[in-house]
Amino acid sequence: MGYDRVVYMQRLIKYLPVSRLPLSLINRVNNALSSVYEKVLWRQIKDGYMPEHLAIILDGNRRFARQLGLNAWSGHKFGAEKVRDFLEWCWDAGIKIVTLYAFSTENFQRSGREVDEIMKIAEKKFEEVLKEAKVHKHKVKVKAIGRINLLPKRVQESIKRAEEATKDYDRYLLNIAISYGGRAEIVDAIKEIAEDVKSGKIDVKEIDEKLIEEHLYTSGVPDPSLIIRTSGEERLSGFLLWQSAYAELYFCDVFWPAMRKIDFWRALRTYQMRDRRFGK
């Protein structure tokens, strides 16, 4: 079944008198069509160039929860579970480096209960790295980036254990931006460079883009080729401000916990259709 046929069938199901069709039948047909469409999209992108480094802003957890009549942290739990699926999609596509924007420095301004629940989720997920078979199978190095010292001690300790357990892996890299802010990252880099100038390790004339990049949280990692943001918001919200200079940006309407492989394949297809000139 070709792409046009899939779209036609989806539209047909949408406009049929729903009251005359069992909900179970509608769901089965939609699932079947989605499966076919997913395969069509994969054929379109599988031989194209993939981003070496993909970054994503995980947005829409709270709105997803509200739609279901649940509290905000339930949305964060759904979102945390979605990460596992998303990483598998990335590995299937051969994407070597993934950076997830999980929690910003500004997010500390949320209610104490919500922040505490998010920290519990973070602690649990970093602990799961230790026994997650696919992390070890795929040799995924896990690294947290941000002002880690602002996190609760228990979360810091979980991060250290996860990083230690995966420090020798080199097939894939997973950066988790937590307690992260793009401006904070640049400020921290400038402070480190200023200390080196003050101590005489470097001369002011030696400061250039390369030196600044060496002091960023992502030192040694290529800049992202593609940045995705879910939930329909179209801004970076301080995410990888320095590194995003020539990144392709893709915004999709779906809330993060509801993201499907189809949505991701579409993002990659759009990326492959763009002509990246880097100012040339």
Q: Which residues are catalytic?
A: 59, 107
Q: Which residues pair with 173 in a beta bridge?
A: 97, 141
DSSP assignment string, 236-267: -TTTTTTTTTT-EEEE-SS-GGG--HHHHHHH
Q: How far apart are CA 123 and CA 159, in angstroms?
A: 8
Instruction: Please choose, from the candidates 99, 261, 270, 103, the residue with its C-alpha nearest in 3D space to the C-alpha of residue 184.
Output: 103
Instruction: Please choose, from the candidates 93, 59, 53, the residue with its C-alpha nearest in 3D space to the C-alpha of residue 76.
Output: 59
C-beta of residue 147 within 8 angstroms of C-beta of residue 217: no
Integer-rounded Cα radius of gyration of the chain: 21
Instruction: Please choose, from the candidates 177, 50, 39, 156, the residue with its C-alpha nearest in 3D space to the C-alpha of residue 101.
Output: 177
C-beta of residue 217 within 8 angstroms of C-beta of residue 148: no
C-beta of residue 176 within 8 angstroms of C-beta of residue 143: yes
Q: How far apart are CA 151 and CA 118, in angstroms?
A: 11
CA 268 to chain centre: 14
